[in-house]
Chains A and B, each alone.
Chain A
Amino acid sequence: MDRLSKMKERIIVLFLALCAVMTLFVTVSIIAILLGESLLFFSKVSPVEFFTGTRWTPTIKPYSFGVLPLVIGTLMITIGAGLIAIPAGILSAIYLSEYASERTRNVLKPMLEILAGIPTVVYGFFAFAYITPYLKKIFPDMQAYNALSASIVVGIMIIPIVASISEDAIRAVPRSLREAGYALGARKPRVILTIVIPSALSGIVASFILGISRAVGETMAVTIAAGRTPRLANILNPDDWMKSIETMTAAMVEIGMSDVSGQSVAYKSLFAIGLTLFAMTFALNTVSYIVKMRFREVYR
C-alpha cells in the first residue's frame, strides 16, 4: 500500500514536470521558428533596408520592405494608449487602495478585472462603431479608420492592467509607513504623494511597462480600428492621428491572410516583423522584471 502510493506520487510529479517542460519546449520552438524564418528573410532583404526603409509594400510592385512605417504606427498606438492608461490607471489604483471602502473595492476590483477579459475584437468594433463616429463630430476630417480612435481604445483596454498591478503595489506598502506619516502630522494626500507612491514606485513603473508592452503587441483592436495603411506618419502632427495607419501586428495579419505563397519574401517578412515585435516586448518585460525585483528588495 505504502509503496503503491509512493509510486502514484512519483507518476503525478513526473506528469507535472512534463507539463512544465512542455511550455518551455513550445516557447523555445516558437523562438527558433521566428529566428530561422527571419534569417531566410534577411538573406533576401538586407537588415539595413528592413530597419531603415521608409516604404512598406511587400505585395505591390516595386516591392519594398522598410519596417519603419509599421514601427511608427505601433509607436503611435502605444504612446496614445499610454497617455490614457497611465494616468487613469494610477488614479484608479490610488482610489481603490487608499480611498474606497472595503465594500466598494470588492465590487470595483473584480469589475476592473472583467474589463481585462473582454475579447479585444470587441474593443476594436467598439472603437470603429462608437469612438470614431463620436470623434468625427469634433474632428470632421477624421477618416473611418484612424490612429487616434485605435489608441484610445487600446488605452481603455490596458487600464485594468495598470490599475490592478499598481493597486497591488500600493497595497503592499506597509501600514506602518503610512502610520509614521500620519503620526508626524501629515494629512492623507501628503501621505499618499510623499510616502505611499514613492514606496510603491517600482511596482507602479512595472505596471506601466507591462501595460505598454501589451499595447505594443495588441492586434485585433488596432487592425479593426486603425486600418491597414502603412504610412510614415509624423507622430507630432495631429492631422496624422486622424488618418489610417498600420501597426506591425496589423501588417502581420494582412500578410498572413493574403494569398502570397509560403516561399515568397513577403511571407517571410511576417516572421521578421514578428521577431522585431518579440524583441521589443521582451525588452519591455525584462525591464519591468528588473524594476520589480528592485521593488521586492526594499521590504525584505
Chain B
Amino acid sequence: MDAIFDVRNLSVYYGDKIGIKDVSLQIYRNKVTAVIGPSGCGKSTFLRTLNRLVELVEGVRIEGRVLFDGKNIFDRDVDPVELRRRVGMVFQHPNPFPKSIFENVAYGPKIHGIKDREKLQEIVEDSLKKAALWDEVKDRLSESALGLSGGQQQRLCIARAIATNPEVILFDEPTSALDPIASSKIEELMIELKKRYTVIVVTHNIQQAARISDYTAFFWMGELVEYDRTEKIFEYPENELTERYITGRVG
C-alpha cells in the first residue's frame, strides 16, 4: 500500500521529559488514520511532529526520521513553510483569525504568494465548498469569522487548511469543543475529505475513531502500543492494553 508518511524510530523530548518514544509507523495515502490514547500519551505530540509545529516549543529535541513522500522532513534543506503548505492542520478549539471569513480562508494562499484577487476568490469559494460551509456563508464573506457558530468556525478552519491545497490534513481533537450535531458534521466531512486528502485525526473519543477511521494507532505513555486496520484494532486487538483501553477499562 502507498504510504505518504513513513515514521522511523521517532522520539520527541521536552527538556528531559519524554513526549514520544521510538515510534515507527506508516500512514497511508487517502485514508483516515485515527490516533487514540489517554491524555498525555503523546498523541498530540506525534501529530504536531508531522508538520514540525512541535518545534515551536522551547527546548524540544527530536530524534529519528519522518519520511514524507520519501523525504525526511527534518533534513536541512526542507523548508517548514513548504511542508506546512502540504500538511495542513485543524485544531482542538476553533481558532479563526479575528478577520473576515474571506480573509481567513485567503490567509494561507496569500502566504504562498497568490495575490490575484480573482484567483483568491476562486480558491476561497472552492475551499468553503469542500468544507461544506459555502451555502451558509456565501452572502457574508466580508463579515467577521467570529460571528459564526462553533461548528461553523471549525468548518471555516478546515476550509482555511484546505485553501493551501495540502496533501495531508491533521486534525487535533477537532470535535472536542463542539456539540454532538456540529461534531457529526465534522465527522462526515473528514470521511468525505479522504477522497482528496490523507486525514490523520487525534481523538480521545474512541467511538469516533471506530466510526470514521480506516487505521487506528493506539498510544500509551509516549509509546505506540498497537497500529492496525481499525476493524482489527476494535475486534481483535493483539495487545491486552489496547483491549482494555477501547473497552473503557483503562485510561
Given known A-B contacts A180-B97, A198-B98, A199-B97, A185 and B81 have beta carbons under 8 A apart: yes
In the complex where A185-B82, A195-B97, A298-B146 touch, is A180 in contact with B157 (Cβ < 8 A)? yes
Task: Report B-chain residues with C-beta under 8 Å of the C-beta of A194.
Answer: 107
Are A179 and B95 touching (Cβ within 8 A)? yes
* Contacting pair B53 A179 (CB below 8 A): yes
Q: Determine whether A296 belongs to the interface, using a CB cutoff of 8 Å to chain B.
A: no
Rounded to whole angstroms, the CA-CA distance of A181 and B97 in the bound complex is: 9
* Residue B164 is within 8 A (CB to CB) of chain A in the complex: yes
Select A184's contact among B56, B96, B160, beta carbons within 8 Å.
B160
Which residues of chain A have C-beta atoms less than 8 A from B146's C-beta? Answer: 298
Which residue of the partner chain A has the closest CB to B99? A198
B19 within 8 A of A: no
Q: B51 and A183: CB pair below 8 A?
A: yes
B88 x A183 contact (CB < 8 A): yes
How does the 8 Å CB contact mask read for B110-127 relative to A, with 1 for contact and 0 for none? Answer: 011000000000000000
Question: How far is A187 from B82 in the complex, measured between Cα atoms in Å?
Answer: 11
Residue of A nearest to B97 (CB): A195
Docked Cα-Cα span, A101 to B92, in Å, equals 27
- Chain B residue with minimal CB distance to A183? B89
Q: Mark B72-95, 1 if CB is under 8 A from A, else 0.
A: 000000001111110011011101
User: From residue 160 to 183 of chain A, which have CB atoms closer than 8 A to chain B?
Assistant: 174, 176-177, 179-183
> How many Å from the CB of B169 to the closest CB on chain A?
10
- Chain A contributes a number of interface residues (CB within 8 A of B) equal to 20
Interface contact A185-B112, CB-CB below 8 Å:
yes
A190 at the interface (CB under 8 A from B): yes
Query: Is A179 a contact partner of B111 (Cβ separation < 8 A)?
Result: no
For residues 31 through 60 of chain B, which have their beta carbon under 8 Å from a beta carbon of chain A? 51, 53, 56, 58
* A122 at interface by CB-CB < 8 Å: no
The reply to whether B98 and A184 form a contact with Cβ atoms under 8 Å apart is: no
* Contact of A186 with B by CB under 8 A: yes
Hey, which chain A residues are within 8 Å of B160, CB to CB? 180, 184
C-alpha gap A180/B93 in the complex (Å): 11
Distance in Å from the Cβ of A193 to the closest Cβ of chain B?
Answer: 12
- B134-150 Cβ-contact flags toward A at 8 Å (1 or 0): 00000000000010000
Q: How many whole Å from B171's CB to the nearest CB in chain A?
A: 12
B174 interface hit (Cβ, 8 Å): no
Is there a chain A Cβ closer than 8 Å to B108's Cβ? Answer: yes
Tell me the complex Cα distance, A298–B145, Å: 11
B97 near A177: Cβ-Cβ < 8 Å? yes
**What residues on A are CB-neighbors of B53 within 8 Å?**
179, 182-183
Closest to A194 in B: B107
A182: chain B residues at CB < 8 Å are 53, 56, 84
B111 contacts across to A, CB distance below 8 A: 184-186, 190
| Interface 1/0 per residue, A95-125 and B, CB below 8 Å | 0000001100000000000000000000000
Which residue among A176, A184, A187 has the maximum number of chain B CB atoms within 10 Å of its CB?
A184
A164 CB, min distance to chain B CBs, angstroms: 23
Name A20-59 residues within 8 Å CB distance of B: none
**CB distance A298 to B88 under 8 Å?**
no
Residues of A183-206 contacting chain B, CB below 8 A: 183-187, 190, 194-195, 198-199
| Pairwise interchain contact A187-B97, C-beta atoms closer than 8 A | no
> How far apart sit A174 and B95, CA to CA, in the bound complex (Å)?
9
* Chain A residues near B83 (CB-CB < 8 A): 185
Give A contacts to B, CB under 8 Å.
101-102, 174, 176-177, 179-187, 190, 194-195, 198-199, 298
Chain B residues engaging chain A, CB cutoff 8 angstroms: 51, 53, 56, 58, 80-85, 88-89, 91-93, 95-99, 107-108, 111-112, 146, 157, 160-161, 164
Question: With contacts A183-B53, A184-B88, A186-B111 known, what are 6 further pairs, Cβ within 8 A?
Answer: A179-B53, A179-B56, A180-B157, A182-B84, A183-B91, A185-B81
Between A and B, 14 residue pairs with Cβ closer than 8 Å are A101-B58, A174-B95, A179-B53, A179-B91, A180-B95, A180-B97, A183-B161, A184-B164, A185-B80, A185-B85, A185-B108, A185-B111, A198-B98, A298-B146
